[in-house]
Structure 1
Amino acid sequence: MAYKQPESVLVVIHTRALEVLLLERARQPGLWQSVTGSREGDETPLATARREVLEETGIDTRNYRLSDWRIENTYEIFATWRHRYAPGITHNTERVFALELPERVAITTAPDEHRAHCWLPWHEAAERCFSWSNRDAIRLLGRAP
């Protein structure tokens, strides 16, 4: 079995008007989040972000502005998901990115990962997220000049 690496990305996808795309997890109905995903092989964080956005939304990041916010969050992995990691791994380090779109675009979700999506004003999106790191990242959008 190939274990997941305890390094991941969080990509906040938003429009210039600060509408944020949220995805509802397929296996955890009611849990909403931005694009997330673990590093594979020797990918750079940027390559992981590009791959995950394409896999989870169908958006090709090369057509838009993808920014590395150079923020890293470390958090404890939920016990129910630890079996995906090598024995003894209890924490994950997440790198934060933002993808700015001029306006909403069509989304093609991966049905095995997400059951629904929505666009919300940044403050509503932040409140809907189950993850503190996702919520905090979205709140940073509201502070942008």
Structure 2
Amino acid sequence: MPKPPKIPHSVLVVIHTPALDVLLIERADHAGFWQSVTGSKDRLDEPLAETAVREVGEETGIMIGGALVPHSALVDWRYSIEYEIYPEFRHRYEAGVVRNTEHWFSLRVPGQIDVTLAPREHTAFVWLPYEEAASRCFSSSNADAILQLPRRLAAHSAGLQAGESGQ
């Protein structure tokens, strides 16, 4: 039975340690294509955070929602980009679909935790300081997301602190 067409709404999850080491994974279908976790919604009404949790689990084996990586470690940046789907990937979508909307998240993990790759999707992983990780990414938008990591985390932290002080 053929796979249903991909939905052109996806997530990108920048997985990082407190020291801002970032996890990159290498695609099985494109050697040398290093990226963060990405993936499309499974259904139109799937909440984006659910997509992010599912994709992180499928692609890295990191389970969000336990003591080691609580749900609060996943941060929705409430930011998205729209981009043209690479021609070599368009066959995965309905005919005529050429653009995808990608929603950005980050996930803080406690150090360089164990990673179990989905072998049909990825062949290798590496933890790198965020600037070096950005320079290794194939996709310029993925690199941009990684470079925004310190600023996004600071803004999120400031928002949490303002909420805690009742402002």
Give TM-score, length-normalised by structure 2.
0.84
Quick check: 1:57–1:110 contact (8 Å CA) kept in 2?
A: yes
Name whichever structure is richer in helix by fraction.
2
Name whichever structure is richer in strand by fraction.
1
Unaligned runs of 5+ in 2: 155-167
Tell me by how many angstroms 1:70 deviates: 0.6
Q: Which runs of 4+ in 1 moved over 6 A?
A: none
Give the match for residue 97 of structure 1. 105
- What does the per-residue CA deviation read over 1:106-133, in whole Å, with 9 as the maximum and x for residues that have no partner? 0000000000000000000000001111
Corresponding residue to 1:34 among 21, 33, 36: 36
Secondary structure of 2:25's match? strand
Give the match for residue 93 of structure 2. 85
Identify the structure with bigger relative contact order (alpha carbons < 8 Å, sequence gap 6+).
1
Unaligned runs of 5+ in 1: none
Bigger CA radius of gyration: 2
CA RMSD of aligned residues (A): 1.0
Give TM-score, length-normalised by structure 1.
0.96
- What does the per-residue CA deviation read over 1:24-53, in whole Å, with 9 as the maximum and x for residues that have no partner? 001100000000001001211100000000
Give the match for residue 52 of structure 1. 55
Secondary structure of 1:140's match? helix
Matches within 5 A, 1:1-145: 1=2, 2-41=4-43, 42-63=45-66, 64=69, 65-143=73-151, 144-145=153-154
